[in-house]
Structure 1
Amino acid sequence: MKLIKAFFTTLFILAFAGTASAHTGLSTTNPEDGSEVTEAIDSISLTYSGQIEEGSSFEVLDAEGTEVSVNEFTVTDGVLTGNLENPLENGEYTVNWNSISEDGHPLEGTFGFTVNAPVEEVITTGQSESTEEVETTNTMTEEADETSQATEVASSAITMDQQESSPLIWVIAALAVVLVAVSIFAIARRKKA
């Protein structure tokens, strides 16, 4: 009797195990759950332990809960791939997947990952031209300042020369007036004589 019980128990366990193994489940994801991606990513793949049906899909949400646009889904040999409209920016993402196994059972779940790719610094031509223009303007301003300083020095020198020669001019002018007056006086005396 014990032998018959053991036989039926074993048969039940094998039958249950066979049924359980017939169901498809999610095996791996790319990117992996909890991973940090350090390069630009433009697609996400989910690999299942068995075949899945067309119509299987997933949604990608950023840290704020905003849905990221996925262009198309493809199902090939138990792999569901979604191509993203644009590569993901740095940040945390959650993927909510919803699939249909080959035997019609609905499958669903969630996994998450972080993108931390190097950011390229791009210097545009307009920025470099602006820099050159600023440098040119600075150079012209410096030259103008130097010219202005030279003009001020020359102007100061002329003013000082004029101030120094001013009394001499007045003396010469006074002498000229005196000479003219003496000449007029001498001519007037001759006419009288």
Structure 2
Amino acid sequence: MRITGAQRGHAMKIMRILSIATVALFIAAPAASANSIIATNPMSGATVTVAPSAVSVTGQVALIDGGNSMEVTDPQGKRVDDGVLAIDVTSAVIGLKTLKVAGVYTVTYSLFGEDGIPLEGSFRFTFAAPDVISTPEPTPIETTTPKAEVSNWGTNAFVIGMLVVAFFVLVLLSLYARKIFKER
């Protein structure tokens, strides 16, 4: 039996589609596990009338202890954080000096999750300074820390499963190609 040009073209079309699907899978898999912001305190864009004593950024993935940075600047661009950055599972917290200038404050952060993907960005909040500035008394606040995604076994199982499927498709296509070329 002879292979016609139409049959060869059809086989090539299938190979192209499978190749594109495989490449798309490998591109999409890392993006699916990317870290992103869950919450900030103060909230991005918020106006606060009481000077916060700290600023926090909370992500989806547990943070590593090293290599992280966070900076808070006042409306004139001067740093107002105390330079002490604390990591608590998925949150990074930096203390603040007493805020005295009303205006827009900028928080810039670069945080590294256990997945190795950096979480970088900035947000702003507005401080509406009262006429008389007093240091607020610390009050205990109950917070719930989101459960950290320590293991991405579901993603890993999906990727491994797709690799196994891709392997079997490759084997079947090679057997099909061998059959076609043998019948020439």
Structure-2-length-normalised TM-score: 0.54
Out of 38, 41, 49, which is 2:60 matched to?
49
Out of 74, 78, 96, which is 1:66 matched to?
78
Matched, 1:104 2:81: no
Runs of 4+ in 1 over 4 A off after TM superposition: 117-122
Aligned length: 122
Matched, 1:33 2:44: yes
Counterpart position of 2:105: 93
| Structure 2 gap segments, 5+ residues each | 1-10, 135-184
Q: 1:115 deviation in Å?
A: 1.1
Give the 3-state SS of the residue equivalent to 1:65 in structure 2: coil
C-alpha distance in 1 between matches for 2:69 and 2:24:
34
Q: Matches of residues 9-24 of structure 1 in structure 2 within 5 Å?
A: 9-24=20-35
C-alpha distance in 1 between matches for 2:121 and 2:79:
16
Contact 1:61 1:95 in 2 (8 A): yes
C-alpha distance in 1 between matches for 2:133 and 2:97:
22
| Structure 1 gap segments, 5+ residues each | 123-193
Q: 1:19 deviation in Å?
A: 1.2
Moved more, 52-61 or 88-97: 88-97
Larger radius of gyration: 1
Identity level (%): 30
- The letter of the residue matching 1:68 is V
C-alpha distance in 2 between matches for 1:42 and 1:88:
12
Structure-1-length-normalised TM-score: 0.52
Give the 3-state SS of the residue equivalent to 2:43 in structure 1: coil
Out of 11, 18, 22, which is 1:7 matched to?
18
Q: 1:59 deviation in Å?
A: 0.9
C-alpha distance in 1 between matches for 2:101 and 2:90:
28
User: Which structure dedicates a bigger proportion of its chain to helix?
Assistant: 1
